[in-house]
A and B are shown apart, each in its own frame.
Chain A
Amino acid sequence: MTRNFSAWPIYALLGILSAPLAIMYLFLVIDTFTNAPPGSLIPNEFTFHHWRFLWDPTVTGDVWGPTLTTFLFATSMVVIVLAISSTAGYAISRLNLPFRRFFLSGIMVMHAFPSVTLIIGVFLVLQYAGLYNTLIGVILVKASLMLPFGVWIMKGFYDQVPWEIEMAGVQDGASRFTVWRRLILPQVTPGLLSLGIFAFIDGWSEFMLPRILAPSANFQVLSTYLNVVSDPNSTTYNFNLFKSVGLYYTLPILVLFVVFQNRLMNIFGGGTKG
């Protein structure tokens, strides 16, 4: 296309519109390494002081325990979501099931359905099941709420695999399970990878469910940890410290995002956040 327009007014408009974001993310990084004099935003001092929470537990409490729990939480999410979505997705994409249509439309409705409205019901289910205030309960709930999305995505990937591969396998005498395990699953590895990364990021970021379903539990994840630490109503509030803890918490996600950006873009279109 020809450039029959000048680009700078558009850059200016975009710049003004994006300014809050740019400023917030720029200062998110700058503020963790610097100090600024009171009443000013321009830093005048370089320091590692705000990162001392990593080795000094007196600042904000132990940060490594929550980190480990968060990792466990996110990894369990990945395992459960991948295991169940890859099988259920295959079943509704390729296998004969009673009520297959009904199940498929049910998955679609649940995918579009805003699951946060169920939180009161989920709370009661966990109370009755005795899983309230436990890590297992929170993981199960989080993974289940992600399932409609996971099954839907995996079904999409299975739909792309040519039937001929499957027919060839069946012709050669393999069972449907072997066909799935040996022939089809390798074809959908990109889907599994994208879904896995997405589940990891989603689990790592989750705040509501641990906060509501395990408020007095003996474990903390980084999101609830950060929420407790970063209370601006506390007398000694220090945004530089809050941002350092926050940046530490978010760093793994940012790395994953940068590395797998293109894969995630495909999946974000059907994302779960509004």
Chain B
Amino acid sequence: MRTRTSLLGLAFVSPALALLFAFFLMPVVLTTVFAFTNMSTSTGITGGSHVITGNLLRDLGNAGVDDDIVAALSEGSFSVTPETLAAAAEAGVEPRFLGEIESSLMGQSFEDARSFESALKALPSRPTRIRDLKLATEPFERSILNTRYSSRAAMETAIASMVPDAPVDTVSAIAEASYTGWRWIDGGNFQTLLDRPETIRIVLNTVFYVAATLAFNVFVGLFLAITTFYLPKTGAGFFSVLWLLPRITPVVLYAVMWKWFTWDNGFLYVIAEQLGLPAFNYMKGSVPTAWATIILVNGFVGASFGMILFSGALRAIPVQQLWASEVDGASRWQQIRRIILPQLRWPILFVTSYQTLSLLSSYEQIWLTTNGGPGSTTTVWALEAFNTALNNYTGNLEYGMGAAMALILVAVGLILSILYLRMFRFDELVNKPRIEF
């Protein structure tokens, strides 16, 4: 049967496509592209311009550029040209004085301020105050230092006019080095990551965090689902609502509650004090308690996910199987071990794989509680990427480096989610439309 494209269908999906394109596809593309650049706050995110700064000159000198060229570039000179005259007129230099400068000094250049000033002093209508005279010289100063040029060619021309005898390749090298925008650095970010000693620590932290939280989520989720399955309705209802609360509580309030629980003079602190146990800020005071805190903070949110899915799967088990086993004298433990757990295999696999992915990329709770501390002992990969790119206090946000770190997560996320789709039988979910227009 021939199938026709439904125009209504196209109209119906296009808004979704547009938004998904803008906020899913584009971010993936940008993350990928900028992972190979050194983009940061100081380079800006659009283009840059070409500027020679004092620091750059020092670096150039150290890098073996001829000292004469460096010296020539660092000096300013004074010249009377139509452009500088116009600049002076704009700066408010008296017109009669300007006219005299134009007629007697046009086209001349002066090495330094002193010689230019003495030439000006010879003019009849010069300002009487020496300060005004100095001000009048300023627009005529031509210096390449700290002047912005919008293109590389303009920068090269400017360098060549300052240092006419410099070799062409030196000029272009200086112009290249003077670029302030971001540039391609190929795999530079990844190389830096490999070279950094912290990287291995962060990876180990991430593995530990994901494994421990996952174990908590799955085991507690299973335990909750099975116990609430056997308990009478009221008791079961109370516990499942209690465990659902963290899931719907806004994360900021949830973090505040955990802070109260673990902070100085908080709940655990007061209890420990009264029992004579060591009382301190458990969230930030020591490494083991900080780990325990973030695993529990995330675990108490995540366990309900397993609980919901496992409870659903439990109710789907034909109750006759349980009755039959009871007739045969099975204990509750035998029921769980031989009947329930084997039938929960797929839900357990699903929860494990789904939560691996979401734990790998989540950092919201860690950020709001320990924030990777004390030191960087509880910093995980996603948090580090976020801090590098968007949230550090030194003020220079390294977008390129952060994008490189995020790219690794994006790649892992994509591969795992496609893998899960294959595993959990995607084909059965697609059925063909039955009305063909």
Binds A, one of B18-26, B93-101, B122-130, B168-176: B18-26
* A215-274 with Cβ < 8 A to chain B: 223, 226-227, 230, 232, 239, 242-243, 246-247, 249-250, 253-254, 257, 261, 264-265, 268-269, 271, 273-274
Instruction: Find out whether the CB atom of B12 lies under 8 angstroms from the CB atom of A95.
Output: yes
Interface string of B215-245 (1 = CB under 8 A from A): 0000010011001001110010001011111
Contacts of A223 in B (CB 8 A): 250-252
B3 at the A/B interface (Cβ < 8 Å)?
A: yes
Instruction: Find out whether the CB atom of A24 lies under 8 angstroms from the CB atom of B363.
Output: no
Interface size counted on chain B using CB atoms at 8 A? 116
Interface size counted on chain A using CB atoms at 8 A? 108
Instruction: Find out whether the CB atom of B248 lies under 8 angstroms from the CB atom of A257.
Output: yes
Instruction: Find out whether the CB atom of A143 lies under 8 angstroms from the CB atom of B227.
Output: no
Cα A148 to Cα B24 with chains together (Å) = 10
Cα A5 to Cα B322 with chains together (Å) = 14
Given A18-B239, A20-B261, also A144-B308 (CB < 8 A): no
Given A166-B435, A207-B251, also A273-B8 (CB < 8 A): no
Interface string of B408-430 (1 = CB under 8 A from A): 01100110111011000010011
A-B contact pairs, 6 of them (CB 8 A): A18-B242, A24-B260, A106-B20, A116-B361, A151-B16, A212-B391
A46 at the A/B interface (Cβ < 8 Å)?
A: no
Q: Which of A21, A120, A176, A273 contacts B358 (CB 8 A)?
A: A273
Binds B, one of A60-68, A86-94, A188-196: A86-94
Instruction: Find out whether the CB atom of B410 lies under 8 angstroms from the CB atom of A117.
Output: yes
Instruction: Find out whether the CB atom of B252 lies under 8 angstroms from the CB atom of A246.
Output: yes
B309 at the A/B interface (Cβ < 8 Å)?
A: yes
Besides A118-B28, A118-B406, A144-B23, 5 more A-B contacts (Cβ < 8 Å) are A108-B426, A112-B354, A120-B399, A144-B22, A257-B248
Cα A264 to Cα B247 with chains together (Å) = 12
Instruction: Find out whether the CB atom of B28 lies under 8 angstroms from the CB atom of A273.
Output: no
Contacts of B155 in A (CB 8 A): none
Instruction: Find out whether the CB atom of A226 lies under 8 angstroms from the CB atom of B355.
Output: no
A124 at the A/B interface (Cβ < 8 Å)?
A: yes
Q: Which of B258, B322, B359 contacts A274 (CB 8 A)?
A: B359
* A142-159 with Cβ < 8 A to chain B: 143-145, 147-148, 151, 159
Cα A252 to Cα B129 with chains together (Å) = 73
Q: Which of A4, A120, A163, A230 contacts B252 (CB 8 A)?
A: A230
B6 at the A/B interface (Cβ < 8 Å)?
A: yes
A77 at the A/B interface (Cβ < 8 Å)?
A: no
A72 at the A/B interface (Cβ < 8 Å)?
A: no
B372 at the A/B interface (Cβ < 8 Å)?
A: no
Instruction: Find out whether the CB atom of A230 lies under 8 angstroms from the CB atom of B8.
Output: no
Interface string of A47-80 (1 = CB under 8 A from B): 0000000000000000000000000000000000
Given A14-B239, A20-B296, A265-B308, also A127-B45 (CB < 8 A): yes
Instruction: Find out whether the CB atom of A27 lies under 8 angstroms from the CB atom of B267.
Output: yes
Instruction: Find out whether the CB atom of A112 lies under 8 angstroms from the CB atom of B421.
Output: yes
Q: Which of B8, B247, B359 contacts A177 (CB 8 A)?
A: B8
From residue A169, how far is it (CB to closest CB) to chain B in Å? 10
B52 at the A/B interface (Cβ < 8 Å)?
A: no
Cα A38 to Cα B265 with chains together (Å) = 8
B342 at the A/B interface (Cβ < 8 Å)?
A: no
> In the complex, which residue of chain A has the Cβ closest to the Cβ of B319?
A1
5 cross-chain pairs, A with B, having the tightest CB-CB distances, nearest first: A121-B27, A274-B358, A95-B9, A114-B361, A112-B417
Contacts of A14 in B (CB 8 A): 224, 227, 239
Instruction: Find out whether the CB atom of A114 lies under 8 angstroms from the CB atom of B360.
Output: yes
Instruction: Find out whether the CB atom of B220 lies under 8 angstroms from the CB atom of A17.
Output: yes
Instruction: Find out whether the CB atom of A271 lies under 8 angstroms from the CB atom of B247.
Output: yes
Q: Which of A140, A265, A268 contacts B19 (CB 8 A)?
A: A140
Interface of B is mostly: helix
From residue B14, how far is it (CB to closest CB) to chain A in Å? 9
From residue B139, how far is it (CB to closest CB) to chain A in Å? 36
Contacts of B242 in A (CB 8 A): 18, 21-22, 25
Instruction: Find out whether the CB atom of B19 lies under 8 angstroms from the CB atom of A120.
Output: no
Contacts of B319 in A (CB 8 A): 1
Binding site for A on B (CB under 8 A): 3-6, 8-13, 15-16, 19-20, 22-24, 26-31, 34, 45-46, 220, 223-224, 227, 230-232, 235, 239, 241-253, 256-261, 263, 265-267, 270-271, 273, 296, 298, 300-302, 304-305, 308-309, 312, 319, 322-323, 326, 331-332, 354-355, 357-364, 368, 382, 385-386, 389-391, 399, 402-403, 406, 409-410, 413-414, 416-418, 420-421, 426, 429-431, 433-437
From residue B201, how far is it (CB to closest CB) to chain A in Å? 20
Contacts of B323 in A (CB 8 A): 1
* A164-221 with Cβ < 8 A to chain B: 166-167, 170, 176-177, 180, 201, 204-205, 207-208, 212
Instruction: Find out whether the CB atom of A40 lies under 8 angstroms from the CB atom of B270.
Output: yes
From residue A22, how far is it (CB to closest CB) to chain B in Å? 6
Instruction: Find out whether the CB atom of B257 lies under 8 angstroms from the CB atom of A24.
Output: yes
> In the complex, which residue of chain A has the Cβ closest to the Cβ of B389?
A120
Instruction: Find out whether the CB atom of B361 lies under 8 angstroms from the CB atom of A97.
Output: no
Which of B223, B231, B249, B418 has most chain A Cβ within 10 Å?
B249
Q: Which of B10, B223, B251, B406 contacts A17 (CB 8 A)?
A: B223
Given A40-B270, A141-B23, also A118-B410 (CB < 8 A): yes
Cα A40 to Cα B231 with chains together (Å) = 35
Cα A90 to Cα B15 with chains together (Å) = 13
Contacts of B435 in A (CB 8 A): 94, 163, 166-167, 170, 176
Instruction: Find out whether the CB atom of A113 lies under 8 angstroms from the CB atom of B413.
Output: yes
Cα A53 to Cα B3 with chains together (Å) = 63
Contacts of B390 in A (CB 8 A): 119-120, 123, 212
From residue A134, how far is it (CB to closest CB) to chain B in Å? 14
Given A120-B402, A163-B435, also A246-B256 (CB < 8 A): yes
